[in-house]
C-alpha cells in the first residue's frame, strides 16, 4: 500500500495501488481515471480564467499609459474605438493560450511523467470517428444559424472587435482555429470533466462542466440571446460526446469545425459584402442575399 500522492498536485490518494512514479514514465492511462484530482483541476481552471483577464490587460496597459496619458475616466466606447488598442488586446490571446497550454500540460503530464495523449484520451472511439465529428460540427453551426433566425442577432463585444479593423478580425479568425479549440477542450473536457465525473458521476459532470464553459462565454456574448443559446448547446454537446466516447479528440474536431466555419466567414467578410451589394438588385438572388445577411 503506497502513501497518498501529493494532494496539492493531484488530489488523488492511490492507497490501493503502487505509485506509478516508482515505475518510471507512464504511457497507458485511463482518461476517466486520471492522475489528478478535482482540486487540482479546479485550481488549474481558475488559473486559466485569471490568465484570460490578466494577460490582455497587461499587454495593453503600456499603450494606454502612453496614448491616453493624463486622461481620466476613459469609457469603454472610447477604448473600443481605438483600433490599435483592440488589435493589441486581441493579439494578447496568443500568449495567453500558450501560457495556458504550458500550465495544463505540466498538470496533466506531471512535467512529462505521464503520456498526454493517454491521459486525456487523444484518440478516436470505435463508434465515433472523424466524419461523425465533422458532421456534428457542421450541424451545430446550422443550429446556431437557426437560433439567429428565431431570436435575432444583436451585436456583441466580439462583433465590435471584428468590425474594429481588418487586422483584428484576421487575428481573431486565426486564434479561433489555431489555439482556442485545443486550449478550451483540454481544460474543460480533458482536465475538468475527467476529474469531476469521479466525484459527481457522469451526468452531473456533464451538466456542471458544460455550464462552466457556457458561463465563461455568456459574458462575451451577453447582448445576444441567439449566441448564448448556440454556445450553451455547443458546450452541452461537446461534454456529452466526451462522456459517451471517453475521448477528447472528437470534441476537439467538433469545436474546430464549428469555429472554423465562423473563421472562414470572418476572412471572407469583405468579399461576401461586395457580392451581396452586387446582387441586391437581382431578384433571382434574393434568397441567397437573405442567407448571406445572416452571416455578415
- Would you state the pLDDT for residue 283? 52
Domain residue ranges of the chain, discontinuous segments joined by +? 31-295
- Would you state the pLDDT for residue 279? 62
Which phi and psi (to 5°) does residue 26 adopt? -100, 135
Residues sharing a CB contact under 8 Å with residue 6, sequence separation 6 or more, in sequence order: none
Residue 67, burial from CB neighbour count under 10 angstroms (0-12, 13-18, 19+): middle
- Would you state the pLDDT for residue 28? 62
pLDDT tens for the chain, residues 1 to 296: 443 434 333 443 343 344 444 344 444 688 999 999 999 999 999 999 999 999 999 999 999 888 888 677 677 777 888 899 999 999 999 999 999 999 999 999 999 899 999 999 999 998 899 999 999 999 999 999 898 888 877 778 788 888 888 999 999 999 999 999 999 999 999 999 999 999 999 999 999 999 999 998 887 788 888 889 999 999 999 999 999 999 999 999 999 999 999 999 888 888 877 777 776 655 544 444 444 444 44
DSSP codes joined into one string, the chain: -PPPP-TTTT----TTS--GGGGS-B----TTS-SS-HHHHHHHHHHHHHHHHHHHHHHHHHHHHHHTTT--S--HHHHHT-HHHHHHHHHTHHHHHHHHHHHHHHHHHTTTTB-HHHHHT-S-BTTB-HHHHHHHHHHHHHHHHHHHHHH-----HHHHHHHH-HHHHHHHHHHHHHTHHHHHHIIIIIIIHHHHHHHH-HHHHHHHHHHHHHHHHHTTTTT-HHHHHHHHHHHHHHHHHHHHH--SHHHHHHHHHHHHHHHHHHHHHHHHHHHHHHHTT-GGGHHHHHHHHHH-
- Would you state the pLDDT for residue 70? 67
Amino acid at each position: 500500500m503506497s502513501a497518498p500522492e501529493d494532494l496539492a498536485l493531484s488530489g488523488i490518494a492511490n492507497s490501493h495501488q503502487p505509485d506509478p512514479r516508482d515505475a518510471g514514465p507512464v504511457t497507458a492511462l485511463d482518461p476517466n481515471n486520471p492522475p489528478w484530482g478535482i482540486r487540482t483541476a479546479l485550481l488549474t481552471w481558475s488559473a486559466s480564467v485569471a490568465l484570460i483577464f490578466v494577460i490582455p490587460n497587461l499587454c495593453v496597459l503600456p499603450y494606454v499609459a502612453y496614448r491616453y496619458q493624463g486622461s481620466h475616466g476613459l469609457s469603454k466606447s472610447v477604448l473600443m474605438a481605438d483600433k490599435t488598442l483592440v488589435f493589441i488586446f486581441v493579439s494578447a490571446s496568443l500568449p495567453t493560450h500558450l501560457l495556458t497550454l504550458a500550465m495544463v500540460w505540466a498538470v496533466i503530464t506531471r512535467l512529462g511523467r505521464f503520456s498526454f495523449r493517454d491521459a486525456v484520451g487523444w484518440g478516436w472511439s470505435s463508434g465515433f470517428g472523424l466524419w461523425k465529428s465533422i458532421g456534428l460540427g457542421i450541424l451545430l453551426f446550422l443550429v446556431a444559424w437557426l437560433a439567429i433566425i428565431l431570436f435575432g442577432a444583436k451585436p456583441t463585444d466580439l462583433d465590435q472587435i471584428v468590425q474594429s479593423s481588418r487586422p483584428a478580425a484576421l487575428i481573431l479568425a486565426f486564434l479561433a482555429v489555431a489555439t482556442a479549440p485545443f486550449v478550451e477542450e483540454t481544460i474543460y473536457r480533458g482536465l475538468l470533466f475527467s476529474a469531476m465525473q469521479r466525484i459527481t458521476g457522469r451526468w452531473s459532470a456533464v451538466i456542471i462542466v458544460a455550464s462552466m464553459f457556457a458561463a465563461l462565454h455568456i459574458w462575451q456574448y451577453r447582448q445576444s440571446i441567439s449566441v448564448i443559446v448556440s454556445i450553451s448547446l455547443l458546450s452541452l454537446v461537446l461534454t456529452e460526446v466526451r462522456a459517451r466516447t471517453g475521448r477528447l479528440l472528437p470534441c476537439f474536431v467538433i469545436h474546430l469545425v464549428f469555429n472554423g466555419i465562423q473563421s472562414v466567414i470572418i476572412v471572407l467578410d469583405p468579399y461576401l459584402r461586395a457580392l451581396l451589394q452586387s446582387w441586391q438588385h437581382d431578384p433571382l438572388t434574393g434568397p441567397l442575399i437573405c442567407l448571406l445577411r445572416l452571416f455578415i
